[in-house]
Structure 1
Amino acid sequence: MSHFEQKLDKYAALTVHMGVNIQEGQTLVVNAPLDAAILVRKIAKQAYEAGAKHVYVEWNDEVLTYIKYKHAPDEAFSEYPMWRAQGMEQLTQEGAAFLSIYSPNPDLLKDIDPKRIATFSKTSSQALKNYRSALMADQNCWSIISVPTPAWAKKIFPHLSEQEAIDKLWDVIFAVTRVHEDDPIGAWEVHNKRLAKMVKYLNNKQYRQLVYKAPGTNLTIELVDNHVWHGGAAVSQSGIRFNPNIPTEEVFTMPHKDGVNGTVRNTKPLNYGGNLIDGFTLTFQDGKVVDFTAETGYETLKHLLETDEGARRLGEVALVPHRSPISESNLIFYNTLFDENAACHLALGKAYPTNIRDGASMSKEELATYGVNDSLIHADFMIGSNELNIDGITKDGTREPIFRNGNWAFELD
C-alpha cells in the first residue's frame, strides 16, 4: 500500500469514527462530488466495518451543475424535487448520520446571473428546511470534510500543474486535519479537549457583549441571555459524540438578533453559491444590515441579503486565533470549511438552537422571544486577522480583553 493510500485510509477512519461516529445498525448518507469516489469507497468500507446497515451516496457533478444553470429555463430554479427533500426528512427521523464532502469550484458560476443562483438557493433551502433544522439542532450526527478537486486545487495553487496542485492540496488537508499524525483519532481527542477548556471558560464568563476593533471594523455584538459556547466535538440528541467539522479550530455562540451595531469588513473572500464576494462591508443597526458595499460580487451579496428578513441579521459569532494550523498555512482556500477555521467569523442567517440553553427543545416562536435569529440561510464570512482586537463586556459592565492582535489575550492551563 502506498503512503498516500495509508493517509487516505486514516482520513476515512477519522471521518467515520470521529466525524459522524457511525453506530451499529445505523444508516450513513454521503453527499459527495465525483472526484471523491476513491475516498467515499473507503469511507463506506469503514462504515460497514463499524456496523453501518446502509451507506447511501448522493453524487454531484459540477459540470452538470453548470450546464443546468447555463441552459435550463428560469422556472427550473423555482422547483425542487420534493421526493428528495421528503427522503432526507425520513432519514433524519430514522436516525441516519450525514456526511457532506464539500469541495466547490470557487469560479464555477462566475458567468451565471446571480438572480438564478439566489432563486435556487432559496428554493432548495425552503424544501430542505426541516432536514437542515434537524442537523442544526444536533438531532443527528453530521460532519463536513473536503477533498481536492482539479478546479479548487488550481484556484489555490495556480502556478502548479493540475496534478501537482491536487497533490499539494492533499498534503495540506492531511496536515490541518491531523491525518499526518501517527494516531489521528488520538490527536483529535487532545484537540477536542483543548477546545472544550476554552468553551468552559467562555460559558462561565457569560459576556453580555463583544466589541470588535480592526481596520474597517468597529462592531458591538450583544449575546443572548443564557448563551452557550460550543467548539470541537458535539453531542447528538441521542447522546452520541461527533465532530461536525473536520478541520475545526473555532469556538462559537449566538448573538442577539437585534443587538448588533456598527460596521464590519471581511478579511477573506466568501465563496457563496459558486460566486466570490470580496472586499465587502456590512453596517448594522439594531441587529439589521442597513447598508453594504462590495468590491467583488455586489449583486451576489445583495441577493443573499434579500433571501428573507433573517438574512440581514447574524446567527453566529465564532472565535478563531490567527495562530492556528489553517491560518499558518498562509493560504486562502476559497472554501468556507477551511477559511472559517483560519479566522474569526460571523454568520448571516439562521442561528444554531444549541447555542442557547435548552434551545434544541424550544419552538420557533419560543426561540424568537429570546432573540434567536431564523432564516433560510446560514452564511459564514471571515473577519479575523492579526489586527483584530476583541473585548468582552461582563454583565456588571467590566471590559476584559479576549483577543489581541488576532490571538487569545490569555492562556488556559
Structure 2
Amino acid sequence: MDPRVDDHAETLVDWSARIEAGDDVVLRVAEGAHDLAVAVAEKLGARGANLVSVYGSDEISRAYLQGHDGEFDEDPEHELALYERADSVLSLGGGRNTTALADVPSDRRQSAARAHEGIREARLATDWVSTVHPTRSLAQQAGMAYEEYQDFVYDAVLRDWEALAEEMAQLKDLLDSGTEVRIVGDGTDLSMSIANRIAVNSAASVAYDSHNLPSGEVFTAPVADSVEGSVTFDVPMTVSDRRVRDVELTFEDGEVVDFTAAQGEAAIAETLETDAGARQLGELGIGMNRGIDQPTDRILFDEKMGGTVHLALGRAYASNFPEGYEDERNESAVHVDLIRWMDEGSRLEVDGEVVQEDGLFAWE
C-alpha cells in the first residue's frame, strides 16, 4: 500500500479530528475508500476509540431514491440516534461514479434532503471531518492520470498545517474586525456586511473549528439581507451531478433576483427553488491553500485554491455566529458553493482597504 495512505490517516486522526481514548467515532466509508478506511481504523484502535463504520455508495443511494415514492420519513430515529450519540464523524469520500445520481429526479433529491435536515445537523454538531481517498473516478473527473491525481491529493493533504494556520490567522483577524466586504472583478461588483460574525481559520482541524482535509481557507457568513450587486463564477464545477459553468448571480436585499449560466442553468434554478434560504448566501470563503493550484471539479479541493473566493447559496455554519446572533443564521436544506478566480483586475476589500489584489494578499 502507498505509504502516503498511512500518513493521510495519521493526519486525519491526530491533527484534524484530535481523536482521544474513549471517543465514539462513526466512520463513513465510500466504496472506493477501503484502503484509507483500513488505515484510519488502525489509528482509531491504537487510540482506544470506539468505532462504528458505515458503508456509503452513490449507486446504493440512487437505487433507493429511484425506488422510493418520494414521501420520506422525517429524520428516521435509528439514523438520527447514531449521530446524536457520536463524538466524531469521519467521512472518507471516493466513489466509483461521480455522477451516479444524475438521473434521480431533482424534486426527490430535494425532498430527501429536507426530510434528513435534522440528521445532517446532528452530524454537523459533532467533531466531524471530511476527506477523500484518491480514486480513478475522481482522477477522471479532474482530467488527470491516476498517478498524477494521487500526487495532487497528497500534496494538498500532507502539508505543514501549523504554518498555514499562522498565515491564515492574518486574514481571520481582518475579517473579525471588519464590517463590510466588497468583491470586484470582471463581471463582479458585490458587497455584503460581515458585522457581528466570527471568521473561521479553516486549518484542517477541529481545534480551529475546521472540518475538511485538505483545507486552507478562511470563511465567514454574510448578513443575509445585506448582499447587493452581481457576481460571476468562472471555475467550472458540478452541481447536483450536472456540469455548471460561468454562473452569474444578481442580488437585491440579500436575495438572488436574477441568474444566468452558460451551462447547467437548470441545476442552479433547482438549487434556488429548494427553499427560501437557498436564495441567500450562507458563506463567504477565501481560498489560501497554494498547494491546490488547479480545479478538479471537487469542491473539497477547489474552494481552497489560493487566489479564489467562493460563495455558498443556502445554509450558514453555526461556527460563524457569536452568542446572541444565532437567530441571524441563514437556514436551508442546501449549501452549494460557487467559485471565482481572483485573477488580474480583481480585488477584495474589507472596509474599503484592499486586502487582496490580482490574487495576491497584501502580505504576499
TM-score by length of 1: 0.80
User: 1:155: which partner in 2?
Assistant: 141
Q: 1:91 to 1:106 in 2, by over 3 A?
A: closer
1:3-402 equivalence runs, <5 A: 4=2, 6-53=3-50, 55-67=51-63, 72-73=66-67, 75-79=68-72, 82-83=75-76, 86-103=77-94, 105-110=97-102, 112=103, 116-120=105-109, 122-136=110-124, 139-157=125-143, 165-178=145-158, 187-203=160-176, 206-223=177-194, 225-233=195-203, 243-321=210-288, 324-327=290-293, 331-342=294-305, 343-358=308-323, 367-368=326-327, 371-387=328-344, 388-393=346-351, 399-402=352-355
Q: Distance in 2 between matches of 1:26 and 1:234?
A: 19
Instruction: Call closer, same or farther: CA 1:98–1:381 in 2, change over 3 Å.
Output: same
> Partners of 1:190 and 1:305 in 2: how far apart?
38
Paired residues of 2:187 and 2:231 also in contact (CA < 8 A): yes
Distance 2:94 2:231 in 1: 27
Q: Go from structure 1 to structure 2 and tell me whether the alpha carbon gap of 1:198 and 1:374 turns closer, same or farther (over 3 Å shift).
A: same
Equivalent residues of 1:101, 1:147 under 8 A apart: yes
d(CA) in 2 for partners of 1:142, 1:324: 24
2: distance between equivalents of 1:192 and 1:135? 25
Instruction: Report the residue type matching 2:300 in the other structure.
Output: L
Offset of residue 31 of structure 1: 1.8
What displacement does 1:303 show?
0.6
Deviations 1:172-207 (A, max 9, x none): 1111112xxxxx6xx22332233234323432xx22
Secondary structure, aligned partner of 1:218: strand
Instruction: Answer yes or no: is the 8 Å Cα contact 1:235–1:241 preserved in 2.
Output: yes
**1:235, CA displacement in angstroms?**
8.0
Q: Unaligned stretches of 5+ in structure 2?
A: none
Conserved 8 A contact 2:15-2:205: no
Gap change, CA 1:118 and 1:380, over 3 Å in 2: farther
Query: What number of residue pairs does the alignment pair up?
Result: 360
In 2: Cα distance, 1:33 partner to 1:197 partner: 36
CA drift of 1:99 comes to 1.2
How much does 1:118 deviate?
4.3
Contact 1:22–1:51 (8 Å) recurs in 2: no
Change (3 A) 1:241 1:385: closer
CA distance 1:107–1:93, change in 2 (3 Å): closer
Paired amino acid for 2:10: A
Give the distance between the partners of 2:198 and 2:228, measured in 1 at CA: 21
Mapped to 2, the partners of 1:341 and 1:145 lie a distance apart of: 13
Work out the percentage of aligned pairs sharing the same amino acid: 25
Q: CA deviation at 1:134?
A: 4.0
Per-residue Cα deviation, 1:124-146 (whole angstroms, up to 9, x for no partner): 3323322333454xx32111111
Does structure 2 retain, via aligned residues, the 8 Å contact 1:20–1:242? no
Q: Alpha carbons of 1:196 and 1:409: their partners in 2 closer, same or farther (altered >3 Å)?
A: closer
Q: In the TM superposition, what is the alpha-carbon distance from 1:258 to its structure 2 partner? A: 0.3
Cα offsets for 1:241-290 (capped at 9, x unmatched): 66411111110111011000111111212322222221111110010000
Distance 2:283 2:100 in 1: 27
For residues 201-244 of structure 1, what are the alpha-carbon distances to aligned partners after superposition, in whole Å with 9 as ceiling and x for unaligned?
432xx222111111111111122x321111134886xxx66641
| 1:161 matched residue in structure 2 | none
Alignment check: 8 A CA contact 1:118 1:304 kept: no
If the length of structure 2 is used for normalisation, what is the TM-score? 0.90
Runs of 4+ in 1 over 6 A off after TM superposition: none
Query: Which residue identity is paired with 1:152?
Result: L
- Secondary structure of 2:342's counterpart equals coil
In structure 2, C-alpha distance between the alignment counterparts of 1:335 and 1:233, rounded to whole Å: 18
Higher relative contact order (CA 8 A, sep 6+): 1
**Structure 1's 222 and 81: CA in aligned 2 closer, same or farther, altered over 3 A?**
closer
Whether the 8 Å contact between 2:316 and 2:330 is mirrored in structure 1 is yes
Contact 2:204–2:214 (CA under 8 A) maintained in structure 1: no
Distance in 2 separating the partners of 1:149 and 1:302: 31
Q: Report the Cα distance in structure 2 between the residues aligned to 1:325 and 1:153, rounded to whole angstroms.
A: 17
Structure 2 CA distance for partners of 1:175 and 1:60, relative to 1, 3 Å? same
Distance 2:75 2:331 in 1: 22
CA contact (8 A) 2:235 2:295 kept: yes
CA distance in 1, matches of 2:238, 2:219: 21
1:360-398 CA distance string (max 9 Å, x none): xx6xxx633xx43111111111123313211112xxxxx
- The answer to whether the 8 A contact 2:219-2:285 is kept is yes
Post-superposition offset of 1:80: 5.5
* DSSP-derived class of the 1:35 partner: coil
Gaps of 5+ in 1: 159-164, 179-183, 394-398
Shift of 1:8: 0.9
